[in-house]
Structure 1
Amino acid sequence: MRDSCTGSYDVKSKWVATAARLLSPFPAIVALVGGGGKTTLLYALGRYLHQSGKRVLLSTTTKMYPPEAGQASLWLGSEPPPGDSLYLWGRGISPEGKVEGLDAGLFSTLTNDYDVILVEADGSRGLPLKVWGQGEPVLPSGVTDIFCLASLQAFGKPVQDVLHRAELADEFFALPEQVDLELWNALRQYHERTLRQLVDYGVTIRLIDRGSPALWRKVCDESYSAYLWSEADGCFPQKSIRITGKKNKQRFEVSKAKRFSRRGDSKGKVTKQDISIVAVVLAAGRASRFGGGKLRASLAGRPLLAWTLRLVNSIPFSSRLVVTGADSDVEELAKKYGHTVVMNQDWQKGMGTSLATAIQALQSSGNEANIDGVLFFLGDMPLIRRKTVSYLLQQIRSTKPDIAYPTFRGKKGHPVYFHRQCFPALFSLAGDEGGRQLMAQFPDHLAVPVDDEGVLTDVDSQKALEAVRVRLNSQ
């Protein structure tokens, strides 16, 4: 079998058989999105299902090259092809020789004619990684399953050479020069958040990281927390998300996947984070000392709050909340960066109410039992480094304290972590109490010294904002 983003896979391989087993009950409409390898999987999975006696239709909502000999037959026009053979259906051929896709709204009307409809729903120009542009991906109506692909071959290579639409990535996460574990985690978290926002309940999202076991071992270490699909031994992706419940109150259930050897027997679990931590950004205050509108103030070309949102997006938290209040425009900014927004109706009473609002939101989500702790960020601290937060999380995972925080030259800073056993006390906070009063109640503290003055630097005035601008310009 092949480990590249292009080329053919053996239709009898365990890898393709595993992909078929992952599908929802028939009739299923499957969208393939993300990095290179979608077309390869489309044809291999289509042939496997067709040879298994299923009525299968292949198509696209964008454009793709016509099938080669042995992959499928080409069917063009407005009428759907018969289900007794394997066809790629398109409207016509574009001037550049590609099959023009169908209207996305058509697919939900075809489920009586086919058992499985496989749809390539975006393009990546053959690159292993992808950031979506406006209007992407173009998901088919009635979609039941989404396979979002990325190739481990991108590791260690220049980002600009392997990431399609890299120029858009800066809106969502920081870009290093080469693909590393932190970027990979940030990219896959971005994929998951974006797809969750696009689909209705009842849709299963699977993030598939393509690569051979040798490549997996080369790039994987204990800090890696994304999702594995091994082409050689038929691994499940480590994490799948099924969206259930009512549309106006979605719940996201995470199912652990099993890893199979070539013989199909259990062979241990893929390395994953040992605890689940939620990031909460506090952004509810009036900022009266600043003169109002602080979190929307421009700093080096982006809103002040965006610096914290981008930092949080670059780290693999289990979920992300932003607590808003005085400034209604902050909500739109937080949603732009893919964060769940919670409104603190009592923001005038102080920060304690924002902490309580965040805990109440987690309790109401129905997922509190799966959360080990919360890391609270302030929305006006733009200079905290990503490696500082990563190091803090490492220390939290190894020691599992009740409360943890970074220190710089002996002074306590932010962000601040609270274990789940602190939740009842946080929920009862009011006024300007904040979390400091919990220090005596929960004495198991972890102070983590860091070489990062950003953990102390907040912007509470116009003068402070100008000082931060000067520091950024000098770096």
Structure 2
Amino acid sequence: MGELPEKPVFSFVGAGGKTTCVLKLADELAGLGMKVLVTTSTHIQHPFYLGRTGLLDADTKTIKEAGVPGKVVIAGRKLEQEKKIAGLLETQLEEVLESYDAVVIEADGAKHYPFKVPAEHEPVIYQITTHILIVESMQAFNHPLSEVCFRLEKAQEILNQADFREKQLTPEIVAKLLEKGYLEKLTGSLSNPKRKIGVIFNQQDSQTFEEKLSVPVIYEKKLEMPEKKKFFLIMLASGFSRRFGGNKLIYSMEKMPMYQILMEKLDWVRQHSEHVAGVCVVSQYERIRKSAEEYGFLAVDNSDSSQGISASIKKGIRAVHKENVKGECYCFVVADQPHLKQETILRLLEGFQRSEKGIGAVVWNEQIGNPVIFHEKYREELLELEGDTGGKRVLKRHLEDVYLCEAEEKTELKDYDYKPEEEAEK
């Protein structure tokens, strides 16, 4: 695709993995220290269901200020259909462009089909686009068009064959549909001599299309299915609250004890995530353990609480760990973080599930907080912790293996060392 211009704007079209490609490219650009904006000219999955936060219905000033080196910002407009968002208007995108180093746009829809031929009004390419990448999934390869192709009627027009519905999707048919469906349009009515155009064959590592297509070809090799992770939510509730002037975990906030606020949220997360294998509460306090049992959680007595937080971590891991079970992940939640949103915990779990990382954490403006997730490959390191040293020590050793989930508000990361009225006076 050649060298990138000063402000590249990538538009992804086609089917079969566009959103994954959009986010992968955005993360790679952010990894280079760039300020990256993600949006759509049609619709894209809601950031919540992508395990990310987003700026929805935000004004231009807010979107501009959100641009930070090394960060991906997803911006768009709310829709009644809660699992999708619309994109920024082209005029608004042009206004905010000056605050970003790169923009990645999902510019087409395919209703989850692995292959697509566009209609007359598709794709929706903004004028500022510098690169167009056509994505097609080769999971559709050697399947009947009727099963795998979106806009089947457009494929029929191009192929002009009576029995086209049962035609197998061969390399020759793929090339013809791409040339006639996308490339003639993108080099004709939607052409811009300065734009670069390429094709990404997703889930593909064996077929050769270079000689069949008139544009560069990129292969995203077929990957092994990612490991399905099983999350154990472990709530740490054993602190002595020495600076608080009493047991802060039973301090009433929002008309219930602080610890119960977190229990309510963990119960909600358990009901909304198929990946949660169990919830465990580690506490030296009988009242808290009894409450945990009422929620159906595993309650673990921490008789070694005087040894510091490391004792709570070890007891939690040992309580939930099962031999010969792969994919265990331990998500530690602290009981004195009442403003943490249940939706943020869920986004952390869902995003970490899709990531290839071994550690996950909630973050606000580069400040890493709780909850923190550790894959079982870090179990032994966690079990070696001593004293009042928590899992952050393990996290800092492996920063290259950390997935970060942005909190929606700064207060979500706040824990209480002092009573709220004393905090306000400080």
Kindly indicate whether structure 1 or structure 2 has the higher relative contact order, using CA contacts under 8 Å at least 6 residues apart. 2
**TM-score of Structure 1 vs Structure 2, range by shorter chain:** 0.3 to 0.5
Q: TM-score, normalised by structure 2?
A: 0.43
Q: TM-score, normalised by structure 1?
A: 0.39
Structure with greater Cα Rg: 2
